[in-house]
Structure 1
């Protein structure tokens, strides 16, 4: 069997070494006599698994001691409701910066629970392709000084826009405002100064592990701000007090995430992953930029290293492009249905060899269509 190059945006490719280890341990884990999927989440074996996973994640991200790591469920979409129910219960005002499809979804959901204000937007509704192509200049942001928190989407998985510098809220007169960021599709791709944020959250199915697990990293002083009607299983304070065991957690997804954390450490940590990710992204973007056959709309300063959307100048060739890619074992390159075009997701698990294979195909396809 030959594995294909999987450019899917999520569920996404996992490191091959992790898949092999999980396969070896599928029927029986470390003398336990059963699979991880079968063991009690309250038993000593799984307690060791989740404890090690949390310790490794805390080490990778250098998470300060005054932050809790929560293993939850529901993905980032559920967190779009869970975050405002937890952080805006006593002050139902939330500010957003809108930079793409996912921040827009967050805004729509949060508006059910709070007074939502769009502090800045990069939406260009008249653009035929790529309606979100940049991050608004911070000088154009207008935050309310009494907002409960400011929400950003750190990397727009659909639109390919990524933050590489975080706003100086002190300079905006909002140094007291917690910064909340959806990090679903770029967490663990580079070092991150967790102390800059009040809360980070993300679905696991891109850079961490299989679908089913959601990570939340929250500063302890924000744990007790929830609305009284927030469900107990989603109340951060309750989840933290019960070490993510208030309800049955997604045990197998946590186990795989733990293997990924160990793999990342073995590769050299997040600084090494950033070096690799820069090299992969530069190779792919340079290939797109050298050609008039392909179009990349995102401004260079905020082009995502994880998700690279692009369009064929002649979109009548889309089907032929995807068919030819599949023949070469280059899979899941079709862009999101809301924007069209193509998208190559090149998360941590995608090696440079996979990006080179895609670059070779981009060049060959252009030659055959000229």
Structure 2
């Protein structure tokens, strides 16, 4: 039985994507070779990565707007360093909304002054900071759109006169935004786009080349742009699966179509959390993520019963992060609405039994 996969990442992917990817590992499109044994310089793979890059820009509405799309390695964690190396000359601003913000701030401080413009750390990151002022002398402002661990999500992005950088690792392609507001977006593939192993970086070309330091080739965005994301051997399988997932999303109707489904999933589980006296939400209501619903039991003595019910129903990956505890239902694009329904039914059943 296929389980209901609520894992925070690596996470669920569309079944047709998994099927086609598994076939390609044996043989890619009838060429007599496996996807993972062809040259990354072959016409077959060059076509794959070009298509993946084009699909990313198309879905974000950024084609022909001066942006480049890259598939790089090292995960979003490498981008914490990468961003600062390429953009931080004197001073950068960061909105601190969780663990990943803290990690990115740590890396940026290696290159210059970092201003923590706003933070929700004192409340264990259970909300998104508001009513803050962004200094006008920053090299860039960095935000994290969705906080997987704490279940919060930025609904309104700041209007700024400096380059806006966003870590969208856990909610990219999940909701409609004016993506042209962002000068640089990065996202690890393994939450909403593909398997672990590659990171999508979308950059407005004009913000590059303005720092005085010399940048090593592997960390230089301009080098990767000039080489069409092929400066070194790319993660062939991860890029291929990301391409398939992006095509799946396009065929569904793009971000607008998947946003409708994502909102239905989020509304279903949050309604149960709010109405069921046995559960309470962890994140502030106005900042709740549509990707990661964090919640806990009001009575810990019910934990063993609830966990057993979830296991028997084939629910996987529901445990909360160790820094928060409780439960976390990650509802990425490929998670069916039916899976959320199964979880909600169990929560309701627990209330009837209690």
TM-score (norm 1): 0.92
Aligned residue for 1:25, secondary structure, equals helix
Q: 1:159 aligns with which of 150, 153, 177?
A: 150
Aligned residue for 1:118, secondary structure, equals strand
Q: 1:228 aligns with which of 210, 213, 233?
A: 213
1:277 aligns with 2:262: yes
Looking at structure 2, the residues matched to 3 and 230 of structure 1 have their Cα atoms a distance apart, in angstroms, of 46
CA offsets per residue over residues 36-87 of structure 1, 9 Å max, x none?
A: 1111111111001111111222221111420010110111111111110111
Unaligned 5+ residue runs, structure 2? none
Aligned residue for 1:56, secondary structure, equals helix
Aligned residue for 2:193, secondary structure, equals coil
Looking at structure 2, the residues matched to 222 and 85 of structure 1 have their Cα atoms a distance apart, in angstroms, of 13
Alignment of 1:312-323 (within 5 A): 312-323=297-308
Alignment of 1:172-191 (within 5 A): 175=161, 177-191=162-176
User: What does residue 147 of structure 1 align with?
Assistant: 138
CA contact (8 A) 2:120 2:126 kept: yes
Alignment of 1:93-242 (within 5 A): 93-125=91-123, 131-137=124-130, 139=131, 141-169=132-160, 175=161, 177-226=162-211, 228-242=213-227
Aligned length: 353
User: What does residue 82 of structure 1 align with?
Assistant: 82
Looking at structure 2, the residues matched to 345 and 364 of structure 1 have their Cα atoms a distance apart, in angstroms, of 21
CA contact (8 A) 1:85 1:227 kept: no
CA contact (8 A) 1:318 1:341 kept: no
Q: 1:327 to 1:142 in 2, by over 3 A?
A: same
1:363 aligns with 2:348: yes
CA contact (8 A) 1:11 1:210 kept: yes
Looking at structure 1, the residues matched to 270 and 171 of structure 2 have their Cα atoms a distance apart, in angstroms, of 17
CA-based RMSD of the aligned residues comes to 1.4
Q: Alpha-carbon deviation of 1:285?
A: 0.1
CA offsets per residue over residues 187-234 of structure 1, 9 Å max, x none?
A: 010123221011000100010000001011011112213563533112
Aligned residue for 1:286, secondary structure, equals helix
Looking at structure 1, the residues matched to 232 and 183 of structure 2 have their Cα atoms a distance apart, in angstroms, of 24
User: What does residue 3 of structure 1 align with?
Assistant: 2
Aligned residue for 1:41, secondary structure, equals coil
Aligned residue for 1:124, secondary structure, equals helix
Q: 2:289 aligns with which of 304, 318, 325?
A: 304
Q: 1:333 aligns with which of 289, 311, 318?
A: 318
Unaligned 5+ residue runs, structure 1? 126-130, 170-174
CA offsets per residue over residues 154-213 of structure 1, 9 Å max, x none?
A: 0001111111222122xxxxx1x1000000000010123221011000100010000001
